[in-house]
Chains A and B, each alone.
Chain A
């Protein structure tokens, strides 16, 4: 079974703190994604990566950065957390195979910024 794990299920941070969200997948997938999920807005793509040390902006990258130093690990960084970044953050991974487009999601990290 594909497994995508996220470092924390719940996080509480203060405004202005630097926040790291970690994601690890065990299926040797090339692609990894970070989404945020908000009620009524669905899943919105923050950043994605097709390979190690490679990253591309998604639809809402402002206020976020990412790091992918190893194939299995994709980190989301909030440089200076703000209250409007309170959300559920979901990590996903997939193969690069065009015919195997399933994205496998982690359980999510619920972040509260006070």
Chain B
């Protein structure tokens, strides 16, 4: 049972373009939605996160858009650079499981930014 569905599985974007990765969830108890970035040979690292009390959060070139009614959220990378080439995972948490913050991850998107 996949509670967080992520698409596309892979994405190729030209340098300077916009990269968009989408996620959809089913569990309405989810209240924390982070994105993790993973470079080859490294563990994932938190990139940006949002809570459902806002519809958008921006940090530099990275923006999360959140649509609570549609149960969808997306990551936008503006002015994509070759250094952004990595695997991106969306995730969600309901924050009420035991000690909190058990994350459910999407299946990942492999982004390649070409020159």
Interface residues of A (CB under 8 A from B): 4, 30-31, 33, 35, 40-45, 48, 50-51, 56, 58, 90, 92, 94, 96-98, 101-108
A94 touches B45 (CB 8 A): no
Q: A42-B89, A96-B100 are in contact. Are A102 and B46 (CB under 8 A)?
A: yes
Name the B residues within 8 Å of A97 (CB-CB).
Answer: 100
Q: How far is the CB of A72 from chain B (nearest CB, A)?
A: 16
Expressed in whole angstroms, the Cα–Cα distance for A58 and B98 within the complex equals 12
A50 touches B98 (CB 8 A): yes
Expressed in whole angstroms, the Cα–Cα distance for A12 and B28 within the complex equals 42
B44 touches A43 (CB 8 A): yes
A101 touches B89 (CB 8 A): no
Name the A residues within 8 Å of B102 (CB-CB).
Answer: 33, 45, 48, 58
Q: A31-B101, A43-B89 are in contact. Are A103 and B106 (CB under 8 A)?
A: no
Q: How far is the CB of A63 from chain B (nearest CB, A)?
A: 19
Q: How far is the CB of A2 from chain B (nearest CB, A)?
A: 10
User: Which listed residue, B41, B44, B93, touches A105 by the CB 8 Å rule?
Assistant: B44
B34 touches A102 (CB 8 A): yes
7 A-B pairs besides A42-B105, A107-B41, A108-B43 with CB distance below 8 A are: A33-B102, A43-B108, A50-B99, A56-B98, A98-B100, A101-B34, A101-B101
Expressed in whole angstroms, the Cα–Cα distance for A50 and B102 within the complex equals 10
Name the A residues within 8 Å of B108 (CB-CB).
Answer: 40, 42-43
- B107 adjacent to chain A (CB < 8 Å): yes
User: Which listed residue, B42, B95, B101, B107, touches A103 by the CB 8 Å rule?
Assistant: B101
Interface centre among B9, B34, B44 (most CB of A within 10 A): B44
Expressed in whole angstroms, the Cα–Cα distance for A94 and B45 within the complex equals 12
Q: Which residue of A lies closest to B103 (CB)?
A: A103
The 10 closest A-B pairs by CB, nearest first: A105-B43, A50-B99, A101-B101, A42-B107, A43-B105, A96-B99, A42-B105, A102-B46, A42-B108, A98-B100
Q: Which residue of B lies closest to A44 (CB)?
A: B105
- B86 adjacent to chain A (CB < 8 Å): no
